[in-house]
Structure 1
Amino acid sequence: MTDIASDPVKAVKESKFGFIIKRRFAPLFILLQTATFNDNALKNALIALITFGGIAFLSDLPSAIRVPVAGLIFTGPFLIICAIAGQIADKVDRGILLRWVKRAEIVIMLIAALGFWLVDIRILAVALGLMGAQSGFFSPTKNAVLPQWLTPKELIRGNALLNGFVFVVVLVGQIGGTFLVLNGTMDAIDVSGTKLASIFLLGVAVIGWVASEFCPKAPAPIPDLKINFEPLTATFSAIGKAFKAPAVLRPMLGIAWFYGLSTVFVTTFPDYVASVMNFNASVLIMMLVLSTLSIMVGSIFVMLFGNWSIWGPEAVRLSALGIVGVVIFIGAIVILPSPTFAGEGLGTAEEFLENRHTPLFLSCLVLSSIFNGMFVVPLQAMAQRRADPANRARLMSAGAVLLNLFVNLSTFGLIGLAILRLPPKSPFIMVVVGSAIVAAYAIYRSIKPIEHTTYGS
């Protein structure tokens, strides 16, 4: 199957959103959402068991450090495997590769099921690490195959739709993973819930595998490519290719920053809610719901209006507007007082909503998340469209490596802030400073765009 973008007659026959129900998009959509759910449900279940369930995990360390370390269990294997996976996705039919990735997920979920059944944090950690490795294969393959299956005009809509629903599924996974393993008071383990989680995650993996079997062919551009299986040199080689393609590198760095700042929030909020704001896990869930749905709103805005000419080539100005909004509203979270509970024990969601600081706090959280969604979606389409099809998967693997480097650097930054015992809002200040730098560059490029080659346009 050649790139659909090379067939203008077929492209004209499709309606704006007709691709959504086609085999070149619908199976990919389903298997992405199922993988996203399992990643987040497993990770957040493990974090909930550590933070609220009282399970021993590096118990000599404070929770502000233990939670980031738990996150590294997922991102570490992703980083190691991703560059190798990018090479494989340029050598092997990407449709076939997606099938094998989903088959592997079933085996991993069987391991996770054992960990949930026994409430064994060590087995769950192994399963989470394996899911990180599996995601390392999936990410560059998905990003390389999208321009192969979608036309240029469909690409920004497809990315917006995929990511908009990904954020919803992230939310459901985060809530589901937390809710299933804790009891009704959200502060102790629910053994029956952990057993239910084991069955549910395995079922979701099976749905993803079935969807993957319907993926169309996606022939690899270089079937005779010699693969370097040494992780370190493969990673440096992938990053080197990215630096030789600066038009692709620039949006990938923006995407990496998006995930870095998202990591700061997702990793900081559990301990911030419990230890600083003094509320229970129900408040954490509320904040995750609002933040994730708001990112989806930003993504849908891009899907509907991202091709408007007012945003300039490839919606560069829309992305710039998004990161400026992030700076403004996260800066407001830093400046404004956070709602806190001064009573005995941890406050409830009802007590959180009654706090006089809550409305403004939640408004800033919602608006920063909407602008965050507007920032990242155009960048994903830019990187995919600009990448040479001959080594697109390897370039996308470089993007995934950079993404995880930013995630890991953010995680280590959080650990450093905790060790130095800096003020609780220090992570948010880190986000504002980094986003301000990105915003300055985005504004400059929206005024003075660079001409570059786009493939399939």
Structure 2
Amino acid sequence: MPASTFHHGGSMSHHPNQFDLFKTRRFLPLFITQFFGAFNDNLLKNAVVVLINFHGMQLMGLAPELMIQLAAALFILPFFLFSATAGQLCEKYDKAAVARFVKRMEIAIMLVAAVGFWLHNGAILMSTIFLMGVHSTLFGPLKFSVLPQYLQPKELVGGNGLIEMGTFVSIILGQVAGTVLVNADPQRFSIIVTLLACALAGLAAARRMPPAPPSSAALAIDWNMARQTWAIIRQAKQSRPVWLSLLGISWFWFLGALYLSKLPTFASDVLGGDASVYTLLMTLFSLGVGLGSMLCEKLSGRKVELGLVPFGSLGLCLFGIDLYFATPAHAGSTLTWLSVLGNHAYWRLVADFTLIGVFGGFYIVPLYALVQSRAAPTFRSRAIAANNILNSLFMVVSAAFAAVLAANGVSIPHVLLIAALLNVVVALYIYSLLPEFLMRFLVWIATHTLYRIRHEGLEHIPEEGPCVLVCNHVSFMDALILAGAVRRPIRFVMDHNIFKVPLLNFIFHTARAIPIAPAKEDPQAKQRAFDAVAAALADGEVVCIFPEGKITYDGNINVFKAGIEEIVARTPVPVVPMALCGMWGSFFSRRYGAAMLCWPRRAWSKIALKAGQPVPASAVQAAGLQQQVAQLRGDWR
């Protein structure tokens, strides 16, 4: 069901920021459901680890270290076994109904866990860790694939950011609670009550989730887990952006698993800290991811901004490398979290851990939003299931990688440095395979560092279906500003000379811009351009042209040429008039002579991009569009 037709639990009106989603029934119950589920996951796992490590809980005579590794393996195993099935169930059935089923299952698991805690029985508790892995496997595809049904496209990044923030906050709270409750209550009564209360709260929230109709009700469930696992992996690979995004997300979990697995010994052996230092580092990383996830909406302009992905990976590389150099030598005395925060020698380390989390949020949220927006609705849940399978695989490889380095005597700081350097290599490889990420990064950097852009009327651009945008042409940056502001990808028709400008050529080529030449220069090139425009519109894309045919020399709008009339006559689509304001006099305009050859006179300038009401194809005239663009621009050139 398209988000624009969803009306359950509140109005679909414009929301000034992502936190307004908490006021809606279409988001808050989902958030609460996943928050308590993730909290219980980590409360249970960490409580069991503490019982094994500090309270002597046994299982078949295994050493404590082996039992802890077994617990981690038992939780991950269901993601390999049941993710494909979970994806199918979320496609075939109402996702809200699936959520209620999963939460009832969680209550039953917590009752079993209560018996295990009461009896101090390792076998029962280890089995509940496996069962909670099954619970998370079933809920994972649901929580991400339901977001496009509940939210508008402009809310998708903000919604994903809040989900990621909630997940990481619940992880740290669950881990802290697991340690505190086990140590504070020998009878384990408090942990039993907490687990059951959170499971009941999750069910209560799930019961408030609005209906989310199945995307593929006729789907026949294939219960052969191995066959279906390979099937969804193959299908996910058919969309190159989706597949590379899944690999990018999984790489983040490779890094995350490596950092988190090394944090305890980093805190104790490298820094000489007690358990509170480990908790502090975990908190800094988790809160950093949460903060970065929430900032994504602000930085992306409420759209899926792929430019944040290279920005995030750049931060992961830089602060991951700096972490190695910021790590002080063991002082000899035992550190506490207060002594870390109170000693300036550790502030750089604190900043690095926090910023690694922040840039991790910048990196991962747009990737999740891209998968949700570009995967076919009938395959979206299975795409998320494929992601969970890949995540689990990468986490297992991460554990094996860390074990090999440890066996060869590589110190923990060096392991973390190697991870950061590997991230550089992987990032370059992914962006070479999918240059759209790097192109969007360059557009995002250019439009967010050079200008302060005010948007007006961009809601007039249709959310789907073909249309043509027409805009005044003031500078060499015009196309980049439009590309950075408009939610949908744009096919630009531009002068072949501008298309060839160094660096900009990479952006225009990657964005599949359409170069055009005047008929007197190259009539065949002009005809090819018009054919490409017709094909793009037939495919439902957005095309933008600058009808003046050239960048202004005096700041005034030149006469609009009749090419726009020819385009619309051939493919009748609505035309949206747009105006750029404030670009005259910029480094990329011709106000002070040849563009980009004069010394820049200003930075971070205030500019505006305005859009008017769409003009139906039957009413399109070049002169009329020119008048509308001039009215939108006004006197602000």
TM-score, normalised to structure 2, is: 0.64
The residue matched to 1:342 in structure 2 has which SS?
coil
CA distance in 2, matches of 1:326, 1:54: 38
Is contact 1:164–1:299 with CA below 8 Å preserved after alignment?
Answer: yes
CA distance in 2, matches of 1:207, 1:168: 17
Is contact 1:387–1:454 with CA below 8 Å preserved after alignment?
Answer: no
Paired position in structure 1 for 2:186:
191
CA positional deviation for 1:82: 0.8
CA distance in 1, matches of 2:339, 2:119: 35
Paired position in structure 1 for 2:396:
408
Paired position in structure 2 for 1:325:
315
Counterparts of 1:28-427 in structure 2, within 5 Å, are 28-56=30-58, 63=65, 67-182=68-183, 191-192=186-187, 194-307=188-301, 314-338=304-328, 340=330, 342-343=332-333, 347-353=335-341, 357-427=345-415
Is contact 2:311–2:359 with CA below 8 Å preserved after alignment?
Answer: yes
The residue matched to 1:390 in structure 2 has which SS?
coil
* CA gap 1:139/1:382 in 2 versus in 1, 3 angstroms: same
Is contact 1:143–1:384 with CA below 8 Å preserved after alignment?
Answer: yes
CA distance in 2, matches of 1:58, 1:71: 17
**Larger helix fraction of residues:** 1
Paired position in structure 2 for 1:187:
none
In the alignment, residue 5 of structure 1 is paired with which amino acid? Answer: S
1:4 to 2:3 alignment: yes
CA distance in 1, matches of 2:167, 2:431: 25
In the alignment, residue 315 of structure 2 is paired with which amino acid? Answer: G
Is contact 1:257–1:406 with CA below 8 Å preserved after alignment?
Answer: yes
CA positional deviation for 1:252: 1.6
CA distance in 2, matches of 1:439, 1:70: 32
In the alignment, residue 397 of structure 1 is paired with which amino acid? Answer: A
The residue matched to 1:224 in structure 2 has which SS?
coil
In the alignment, residue 2 of structure 2 is paired with which amino acid? Answer: D
Paired position in structure 1 for 2:15:
15
TM-score, normalised to structure 1, is: 0.88
* CA gap 1:53/1:281 in 2 versus in 1, 3 angstroms: farther
Is contact 2:71–2:129 with CA below 8 Å preserved after alignment?
Answer: no
CA positional deviation for 1:338: 4.1
**Larger strand fraction of residues:** 2
CA distance in 1, matches of 2:200, 2:296: 31
Q: What is the count of residue pairs matched by the alignment?
A: 439
Paired position in structure 2 for 1:186:
none
Paired position in structure 1 for 2:438:
446
Is contact 1:40–1:170 with CA below 8 Å preserved after alignment?
Answer: yes
CA positional deviation for 1:54: 4.9
CA distance in 2, matches of 1:454, 1:265: 44
Is contact 2:249–2:364 with CA below 8 Å preserved after alignment?
Answer: yes
Is contact 1:5–1:11 with CA below 8 Å preserved after alignment?
Answer: no
* CA gap 1:454/1:165 in 2 versus in 1, 3 angstroms: farther
Is contact 2:57–2:121 with CA below 8 Å preserved after alignment?
Answer: no
In the alignment, residue 20 of structure 1 is paired with which amino acid? Answer: F
Moved more, 392-401 or 47-56: 47-56
Is contact 2:52–2:64 with CA below 8 Å preserved after alignment?
Answer: no
Is contact 1:221–1:390 with CA below 8 Å preserved after alignment?
Answer: yes
Is contact 1:323–1:438 with CA below 8 Å preserved after alignment?
Answer: no
CA positional deviation for 1:429: 3.0
CA distance in 2, matches of 1:291, 1:454: 42
Deviations 1:293-343 (A, max 9, x none): 1111111211223226xxxx7311112111110111111122333453524
CA positional deviation for 1:14: 3.6
In the alignment, residue 324 of structure 1 is paired with which amino acid? Answer: L
CA distance in 2, matches of 1:195, 1:59: 26
In the alignment, residue 368 of structure 1 is paired with which amino acid? Answer: I
In terms of Rg, which structure is larger? 2
CA distance in 2, matches of 1:436, 1:199: 46
* CA gap 1:180/1:339 in 2 versus in 1, 3 angstroms: farther
CA positional deviation for 1:228: 1.6
CA positional deviation for 1:60: 6.7
CA distance in 1, matches of 2:5, 2:157: 17
CA positional deviation for 1:137: 0.6
Identity %: 30
CA positional deviation for 1:351: 4.6
Paired position in structure 1 for 2:419:
431
Is contact 2:3–2:153 with CA below 8 Å preserved after alignment?
Answer: no
The residue matched to 1:215 in structure 2 has which SS?
coil
Higher relative contact order (CA 8 A, sep 6+): 1
